[in-house]
Every structure is written in structure tokens, then in C-alpha cells.
Chains A and B, each alone.
Chain A
Amino acid sequence: MATGYIIRKNEFYDSVFLMRVAKRITEQPGVQQSAALMATEKNKILLADIHLTGAEIDAASPGDLIVAVIADNDQIVRAALDHLDDWLRRDQAGSSEPAPRTLDAALARQPSSNLAVISVPGEYAAREARQALERGLNVFLFSSNVALEDELSLKQFARARGLIVMGPDCGTAIISGIGIGFANVVRRGPIGVIGAAGTGLQEFTTQVHHAGSGISHALGTGGRDLSDAVGGISALSALDALERDAATKVIAIVSKPPGAQTLARLTERMSQCNKPVVACLIGIRDELPGANIRFRVARTLDEAAMLAVQIANGKPSTSPNPIFNLQSLISSHRARLSPKQKYMRGVFAGGTFCYQAQQILCDAGVVVHSNAPIAGNVALQNARQSVEHTIVDMGAEEFTDGRAHPMIDATLRRERILAEARDPQVAVLLLDFILGYNASAEPVGDLIDVIKQARERGIVIVASVCGTEGDPQGLHRQSKLLQDVGVIVLPSSEQAARAAGLIASGR
């Protein structure tokens, strides 16, 4: 075995691009492992984990690129590293002019800009966001690991100037039909939605699309916005703007339960809105004060989408793709399980799907272990090891530290599905697949061989695919790949969780 690396001073590439570079190098014959990353302290630890250390690596700074290769022999290592410029070549997006290196240079070239989309590493993100706000730009802040005090000060600064900060840790937005970050291709229409949860927004917007209606705008706020520490500043700005927006007839809000004070403030604001509002605060079971015919509460994402479409159309909507034979389908699968197969394992890419599935199972009396447990469930002692019924969020920090989200990089999810498949006590696997811009080009293809292995071991697999036919990956094609290997594909994450619960609980 041979090892080698190259350090390029002051040569920065984004992490998604570098993930693809490393993948392409690893696919070369004789290459066992490769890494392409910026020399941050965190990434140096990852390199040390694969025994790559040295004074040069220690001295490298976060603006320096490190590409390392572990291969069968020196010749293969050298060949891979000699071609580094080829690996790093990428299509210049759009213009033939060299890209501007600063925000001001970009603004000089495109003075009508009104939105900055920021996805630099978290430690630099607040600085970039502030510069954008100071120049009068709204901000979509994809970066995570932004300090709470920075989030608060950015949002206060924005609000005082009639701007919005979507994020930090905002995965999804749709503005006037343009999907930003992880977003699906959905019809334009009368429903505006505000979401503190990225996959929650994706599921809501695709369900609205499937029900025949469409989206005016989908505005993300970031997961912390509705905490009492931030007080829902971006959610309230978004609500004000959608209330004034001529294209929006109905407003929906999708979130985990807000902080108590923020919930009170938001509830009061929603009940006074001059447009109909649907609030889906997953996990809040009680009616909210002020709820009435124009301010409705939905308990799940499906219900929220159906209610919003119903209000927009002025008539009851029907659920798309109803599953008439779900019960008999479940019974026939259950009948084939061995007595040892008792447990359900959910291996999720979408955080909101993980959260909502727990809620649905909790309501059905099924207690699960999770790395992101809701009240009433049990925290996993080791996120990498399932216990009895387990639902794991593979997008949680412990899995994404130093690597891309499972919606882009399926490596760890593959390993987890394989581990579950090898556990003889597993009866049912619950999976989500998320399509749309910037998600993996083959969300199902990335996992299909391990899914087949699980099927061969007699495990029932229930899945949902969040997407539309217009998405680059194609909803039908992805669903069919799953169905062809015997996976039960249901039309929503909610329905998939219910079905998995029915199989697991033996009802």
C-alpha cells in the first residue's frame, strides 16, 4: 500500500465540489481511498484518522487545498496526483469573464442583485452575510455552525432594514418559481409557505404540487428562528411579506414546535393575518388559541398541504394516489416475516422526516430510540448502533461533521442500511429519498445494491420519495427503481411512517 498527498497554497474549492473530486479519484483502479479537502483543523483530524500526518499538513491553513491518495502502489498514487489539474477542472458557470472575487465586484457587474446565497464554511458565513445585508441584499444562508449571537444580530439588522435572513442552516427556498438550495420543481400557484425545516418545506411544496395546486414562494428561516432566543424574526418578516404579496392567497407555516414565548407571539400574529393561515407545528397536538376557519392547525405535513390546497381551491381536496390496498399489502408482507424479526429501523436523510416519523409512531404507541429523539422517545447511547425500534437522522451533526449531507453523499447511509440488513431482528426498514435541485443525481441508485441485500434477507422495506416528475431525477423513475426490487413506495413520508408502524407493531 502507498500513500501520497499534494498541498496547494491559497487554492479554495467548495466542499461539494471536492467531494465529487475525491469520489472520482477513488473510482480509479487501484485507489483504495482518497481525500480532497481544505486544510481546516477539523479536516486535519479526518486526515489523521486515515494516518495522514506531517509537518506540511500541520502548517497548512484553511485556504490551502490538500488532496491525498491511498492506493495499491506508488505508481497509482503518483498517477492520480499528477492528474490533479484535470480532477480540479470544472465548467465555468455562465460568463467567459473571470469570476469576481468579492461581493462588491459581483455587485458592480450585476447591480440589480437582490439576494445573496451564502454557503461558505460556518466560521466565515456571518461576516459574508453582514456584508451582503449592508449592501441592501436579502440573504439565503445555507451555512450551518453560525453562532447564535451572530444569527440574532444579523436578523435584527435585516429586519430594521426591510430585509430577510433565511437561515443559517437554511436548506430550501423557492422564490417566484426559482428553487434555491435543495428545492423541487413544483407548479407556481397561490400558496406561500414559511418553513423552519428544509425537508419539511420540500415535502409540503411537493404535496401541494401533487394535489394540483402550486407555490407562490417558499421561504426558509433556519431551524433556530422560532426558538425563544431568536424569537421568530425571519418567520414574522416572511409572514408580513407574504401577507402583502399579491401572488399569495393562502399562507402555511411548517416547523417543529416553537419556543413558548415565540409560539404565543406567532399565534397572535397568525390569528390576525388578513389571509388564511395553516400552521403545521409538528408535535403540537392541542388547538392553538385563536384557531378558527381562517387560521387552521395541521398535525402533519400531508394534512397541512391538503388544508392549504383546500382553502386555495375553495373546496375539499382529495388525497393524490390513494393506496386502496395498504392494509392487505402490509398483511401479506407481515405474514412472511420470521418470529425473530421484530424491529423497525428508520434510516433518514431528511431531519423533518425523522422527526415526523417519530411523532406518528409515538401517537401509534411505538417507542423508538433515536439520535434526535422527540419527547417520550429514548436517546441512542451510540448514534451508530441501533437498539430495538430505532429511527436515525443521518443528517445530524455527528454524521455530517467533515462530509456532505446524506442528500448528496450517501456513503454513511449505505453503511447503516447494510448494518441493519445484517441484524436478524430487523423486520422493517423505513427510508426516505429526496429529489430536486442539488440533491444526489441518483438518490435511489446510490443505495439500491444495499437495499437489494436487505430484501434478500427478508426485510420489508417501506419508502417515500419526496419529489416531482419535473425534478432532475424524475419521481417516477426513482420510485420504479425501488418498486422493481420489492420496496413498498408510499406517496408521502407520513404514509410511509404509518405503514412501517403498522408492520412493526403487529397491528
Chain B
Amino acid sequence: MENKLDELLQNVPTIINIGVQDFAVSLQTQGAPTIQVEWSPPAGGDREMIELLDKLV
């Protein structure tokens, strides 16, 4: 199995950006393939519900 970090360093990174959208914009400007995830807090930020969801998964 190839080391995934070694693989990452071999070429321009291919990125999934979760959070600050400006980061995705600057990565795309530089030519790195980047997809922005439209993230929002899971279960509306309800901690108990998040824990329950994680247990179910």
C-alpha cells in the first residue's frame, strides 16, 4: 500500500474544503482542484443528537 502522505506530496493536491469558503477560492485561484462542502452543524448543533447519530452510524 502506497503511503497516502507520500502520494499527496507528488503532485498538486486535490482538495475538499469544509468551512471557510475563502480558502476554497484561494486554492482554486492557484489551480488546485477544490470542491467546497456547504457545511452546517450536524443536527443543528444539538450535541446529544450528534452523539446519537454517530452511534447509529
Residues of A within 8 A of B (CB): 10-12, 14-17, 40, 61-64, 90-91, 93-95, 98-103, 105-107, 109-110, 112-121, 124, 127-128, 132, 136-138, 142-143, 161-164, 175-181, 216-217, 237-238, 241-242, 244-245, 247, 437-438
Contacts and interface: CB of A to CB of B under 8 A. Distances in A.
Given A16-B21, A112-B33, 17 more contacts: A62-B41, A62-B45, A90-B21, A93-B21, A98-B38, A100-B37, A101-B37, A101-B40, A102-B37, A110-B35, A116-B18, A118-B19, A175-B8, A176-B9, A176-B12, A179-B26, A180-B27
Contact of B12 (A14, A64, A132, A178): A178
Interface in B2-57: 2-42, 44-46, 50, 54
Contacts of B37: 99-103, 105-106
Given A164-B5, A175-B9, A245-B6, A116 B15 contact: yes
Contacts of B44: 10, 61-64
A16 B33 contact: no
Nearest to A100: B37
Contacts, number: 185
Nearest to A125: B19
12 contacts: A61-B41, A110-B14, A114-B7, A115-B15, A119-B17, A124-B42, A128-B39, A136-B4, A164-B8, A175-B12, A177-B12, A241-B3
A217 to B, nearest CB: 6
A10 B10 CA distance: 40
A138 B16 contact: no
Nearest to A124: B41
A14 B20 contact: yes
A100 B38 contact: yes
Nearest to A130: B54
Contacts of B8: 114-115, 138, 164, 175
A106 to B, nearest CB: 5
A180 B1 CA distance: 27
B35 A119 contact: no
A15 B27 contact: no
Nearest to B32: A178
Contact of A178 (B1, B4, B27, B38): B27
Given A110-B33, A114-B14, A161 B21 contact: no
Contacts of B41: 12, 61-63, 120-121, 124
A241 to B, nearest CB: 5
A12 B38 CA distance: 9
Contacts of B20: 14-17, 119, 142, 438
Pick the most buried of B21, B30, B39: most chain A CB atoms within 10 A of its CB: B39
Contacts of A12: 39-41
Contacts of B24: 93-94, 117
Pick the most buried of B19, B41, B46: most chain A CB atoms within 10 A of its CB: B19
B18 A241 contact: no
A117 B19 contact: yes
Contacts of A120: 18-19, 39, 41
Contacts of B34: 93-94
Contacts of B11: 176
Nearest to B45: A62
Contact of B9 (A63, A105, A217): A217
A95 B17 CA distance: 14
A145 B13 CA distance: 26
A181 B12 contact: no
Contacts of B9: 175-176, 216-217, 241-242, 245, 247
A101 to B, nearest CB: 5
A103 B18 contact: yes
Contacts of A217: 9
B35 A63 contact: no
B5 A180 contact: no
A177 to B, nearest CB: 7
Given A62-B44, A136-B4, A438-B26, A115 B38 contact: no
Contacts of B21: 14, 16-17, 90, 93
Nearest to A179: B30
A143 B19 CA distance: 9
A244 B9 CA distance: 10
Contacts of A181: 23
Given A113-B15, A175-B13, A61 B45 contact: yes
Nearest to A41: B45
Contacts of A180: 13, 15, 23, 27
A12 B8 CA distance: 30
B38 A101 contact: yes
B7 to A, nearest CB: 6
A16 B22 contact: yes
A107 B16 CA distance: 8
Query: Which 10 pairs show the lowest CB-CB distances between chains A and B?
Result: A62-B45, A119-B19, A12-B40, A162-B3, A63-B44, A99-B38, A437-B26, A119-B20, A178-B32, A14-B20
Contacts of A161: 4
